[in-house]
A and B are shown apart, each in its own frame.
Chain A
Amino acid sequence: MASTEIARQAGEGVRAVPLAGHVGFDSMPDQLVNKSVNRGFCFNILCVGETGLGKSTLMDTLFNTKFEGEPTQHNQPGVTLKSNTYELQESNVRLKLTVVNTVGFGDQINKEDSYKSIVEFIDAQFEAYLQEELKIKRTLHSYHDTRIHACLYFIAPTGHSLKSLDLVTMKKLDSKVNIIPIVAKSDAISKSELAKFKIKITSELVSNGVQIYQFPTDDESVAEINSTMNSHLPFAVVGSTEEVKIGNKMVKARQYPWGTVQVENENHCDFVKLREMLIRVNMEDLREQTHTRHYELYRRCKLEEMGFKDTDPDSKPFSLQETYEAKRNEFMGELQKKEEEMRQMFVQRVKEKEAELKEAEKELHEKFDRLKKLHQDEKKKLEEKKKTLDDEVNTFKQKKTAAELLQNQAQQAGGSTTLKRDKERKKQRFL
C-alpha cells in the first residue's frame, strides 16, 4: 500500500495497532462524500481565446446542454469577462457550473493589455475568497467558491506556431490558474499538420517556461491514463451541438460536403480525451490544485504585500496579529480624525445657517413693521377722506332742508315765480 500522508505525518512515536474486529470507520469516506453531495459542488471554467474559435460551442458540447445566451457582441473596446452560472444535476450530484468567457480577446489593434482584465478577474475571485477567510465571523463552509478551477486556452488552428499574444497571456496566467491548452476548430488542420503543430506548441511552451496543468500521476489508479494524456496535450478539439445520423445512431458531428467530422470519434479529434480528463478523472484534482497551490500563492503574495511577515518561529503566530492590530489602530485613528473634522464642519455649518436664519427673521420683522405702518397711514387717510365726504354730505343735507323750508314758506306767502327764479338761481349756484 502506498504510504499515506497520515502515516508520514504520524512519524515519531505513533504506532499502528491492529484491529481485533470490524469497527466501522471505513465508512468515513462515504460520510464525507455524503456531506459534500448534500452541499453540492462548484466548478468554474474560464475560456480564453480569440473571437470565433468556438468557445461557447465547445462548452455546450462538453456539458451536453444548450447554455442560454445570445452570441456575444464583439464591438466592445476592451476585453470583458462574462460569467454565467448553471446548475446541473446528474443522479444525485448537483453541480454549480460557472463558465466565464472572454469577450473581445484579440479583437483590438493594440493587444498589449488584453491579458490584464483576465488576470484582474482571476485575482478578484481569489481576493473575494481571501476576504471571506480573513473575516472574523465567517461562513466558509457555505461560501460559493468562484475561484477559477480550470482555464481552457483556445489556440487558433493556424498550423504554424503559437501567436505572441498566446504566449504572453499564458505566461501571465500559468501561476494563477490551471491552464489546459487546446487547439480549437481542429478540423481545419490535417492530421499530419496537426501532429507537427502540437509538437511545435509544446516545445514553444517549454522553451518559454509556461507551466501548463499536468494531470496528476501519483495515484496508481489514474497514473497510467493521466500520463498518456499528458503526452497528447494540447488537445485538438471540435465542438458541435448538431446531430447527424451515422449508421443507425445520432451522433454529434459537423457535416461538410466532403465528409462528416464526428465529435466523439477519437480518430477525428481529441474531444473525448478532453472530456475524460477535465470532468471524469481530474475535476477534483483541478479544484484541489486551485486551492492548495494557486490560491495559497496568491494569499502569500497578498499578505506579504500588506506588510505581514512570518519572521522567526517565536514571533510567527503574532506577527500577523500585531501588524493587523497596528494597522487597525492606525485606521481607527484616522477614522477618529475624520470624524472630528466632520463634526467641526457640521458645527460650523450649523452656526452659519443659524446666523442666516436670524438675519432673515430680522428682515421679515422689519418688513412686517413697515407694512403695518403703511397700512395705518392708508387707513388714516381714508378716514379723513371719509370725514370730509361726510361733512359735505351733511352740509348738502342742511342746505337741502333749508331750501325746502324756504320753498314752503314762499308757497305759503304766494308768488311762485320768484320761488322758481330763486330755485333756478340756487340750482345754478350748486352746479
Chain B
Amino acid sequence: CFQGLTKSQNRANMSDIVPPEVRPKPAVPAKPPNGGSTLLGYIGIDTIIEQMRKKTMKTGFDFNIMVVGPSGLGKSTLVNTLFKSQVSRKSAGWSRDEKIPKTVEIKSVSHVIEEGGVKMKLTVVDTPGFGDQINNDNCWEPISKYINEQFEKFLKEEVNITRKKRIPDTRVHCCLYFIPPTGHSLRQLDVEFMKRLSHSVNIIPVIAKSDTMTVEERQEFKQRVRKELEMNGIEFYPQKEFDDDIEDKSDNDKIRRMHLQEMMPFAVVGSDKEYQVNGKRVLGRKTPWGIIEVENPNHCEFAQLRDFLIRSHLQDLKEVTHNIHYETYRAKRLNDNGGLHPITSNDTQKIYDFHP
C-alpha cells in the first residue's frame, strides 16, 4: 500500500509529462476549497493523460496554413521545407499564355502526412497575385473573404440540429506573411494587410529570402519592422492581448511569449535541395561564396520558426483560432439582425472593418 506523501510537481512543461508506465507515484494531498479530502494511495487518475493521447492519435489532426506575399518570395519553397515534403506546388511565374490574374486567387491544396503514428491533414492555402498588380487596392479582400467563409462553414455545421461527430475544420489556423527583405521598413501594403487581418487570423510575419542581408542588416531591419508593427498597433501571433483570455497560460508561457516576440519576425531561408556539408547532408542553398544551411541557426532563423510553429505552438495556434477568432466571428454574426443572406464581399467588408 502506498502511504508516503510527496510534494506536488509544478504544472508540467512539455518535457515533464509522466508516462504512465512509470508505476504509481504516491498521491499528493490535495487542498480542495471545500476541504476534507486527503488521498491515501494511488488511484490512477493520471492515466487519463494516456487515454486522451491515444484518442487524439486515433482521430488525427487538421492544420490549415495560409501563405501570403508577393510572388517570388519563396513561399512555396518555405512551406515545403517546413514540412519536408512537396505539399505546395511552386509556381514558375506566369507563362506568356497565362494571364496574370486580375485579383488575388485563393488556392488550397491538402495532403495527409504522417509521422510517429500521428496523422495530419495539412492544407496549404496559397494566394497567388497578392501584391503583384500595379494597383493593389483592396487586394486583401479575397483573403479576408476566404477566411470568413471558412468560419461561416464551421458555424453552419455547429449550428445544425444534427451535427457531425467531428466537424471538418477548414479554418485558417495560421497565416505566414512574407515581408520582402528590402532592408528599409515595412511597405504600406504590408501594414494595411496585417492591420486588417490580425483580428481574424493568427499572423506570423516572416522575412523572406533573408540570405540577401548580412547579420547586422538583418537585426536592424527586424527592429525597424517590429517598431513599425507596434506603432501601427498590429498584434501578430502570439498576441499579448489574449494572455488574459486563455487562462491556462502560466507565467512561464507569458515569459516565453515575450522572448518569442523579441525574436520575431523570423528571418528565414527556404530550400528543398540537399548538399553535403562537413560530412552531413543538409538542406541548403549553394552560392559561389558558400552554402547557406537552412537549418543552421547561425545562418538563418528557419529552425527557430519551425520549432516555434510546429513543435511547440501547433496546438496553441488551433486553440487561439477556435477560442478567440472563431468566437469573435460567431458573436458578430449572431448579433447581426435580419437580412440573413449568404455572405457577399460586402458583408466581409462590414465584418472585418469592425475593429474592437
Contacts and interface: CB of A to CB of B under 8 A. Distances in A.
Contacts of B96: none
A2 B306 CA distance: 29
B20 to A, nearest CB: 9
A213 interface: no
Contacts of B133: none
A285 B36 CA distance: 29
Nearest to A63: B43
Given A14-B110, A15-B112, A321-B159, A38 B250 contact: yes
Interface residues of B, number: 97
A86 B111 contact: no
Given A17-B85, A91-B18, A29 B118 contact: yes
Given A33-B56, A34-B13, A296-B162, 11 more contacts: A1-B117, A27-B310, A28-B120, A41-B48, A65-B39, A65-B40, A86-B30, A89-B27, A90-B44, A95-B48, A276-B44
Contacts of A63: 37, 39, 43
A21 B295 CA distance: 12
A137 B247 CA distance: 16
Interface of A: 1-2, 4-7, 9-10, 13-39, 41, 62-68, 84-93, 95, 136-138, 140-142, 219, 221, 243, 249-251, 275-276, 279-285, 288, 292, 296, 299-300, 303-304, 308-310, 316-318, 320-322, 325
Contacts of A84: 34
Interface in B1-21: 1, 8-14, 16-18
Given A87-B33, A88-B37, A142-B247, A10 B59 contact: no
Given A5-B59, A37-B11, A325-B340, A86 B84 contact: no
Nearest to B44: A280
B217 interface: no
A276 B45 CA distance: 10
A176 to B, nearest CB: 18
* Nearest 3 Cβ contacts at the A-B interface: A68-B36, A26-B116, A6-B60
A275 B11 contact: no
Interface stretch (B172-180, B220-228, B232-240, B314-322): B314-322
Contacts of A251: 1
Nearest to B12: A92
Contact of A23 (B31, B60, B83, B110): B83
Q: From A33, A221, A303, A304, name the one whose CB has the most chain B CB atoms within 10 angstroms.
A: A33
A85 B120 CA distance: 38
14 contacts: A4-B58, A7-B60, A17-B87, A23-B84, A26-B116, A28-B315, A63-B43, A88-B39, A91-B25, A92-B18, A279-B47, A283-B48, A316-B160, A325-B340
Interface in B94-127: 110-121
Contact of B42 (A25, A33, A90): A90
Contacts of A20: 84-85
B8 to A, nearest CB: 6
Given A10-B112, A14-B121, A87-B30, A93 B37 contact: no
Contact of B115 (A2, A19, A33, A325): A19
Nearest to B80: A20
Given A24-B306, A29-B118, A65-B40, A92 B162 contact: no
A84 B313 CA distance: 36
Given A7-B60, A64-B41, A219-B54, A35 B315 contact: yes
Contacts of A36: 49, 52
Nearest to A87: B32
B296 interface: no
A310 B119 contact: no
A317 B310 contact: no
A281 B51 contact: yes
Contact of A9 (B18, B31, B168): B168
A121 B23 CA distance: 38
B54 to A, nearest CB: 7
Interface in B243-300: 246-248, 250
Contacts of A283: 45, 47-48, 51
A342 B284 CA distance: 78
Contacts of B59: 4-6
Contact of B307 (A4, A24, A86, A296): A24
A251 B40 CA distance: 12
A37 B11 CA distance: 8
A30 B51 contact: no
Contacts of A6: 59-62, 112, 119-121
Contacts of A321: 159, 334, 340
B316 A35 contact: yes
A142 B349 CA distance: 31
B356 interface: no
Contacts of B330: 136
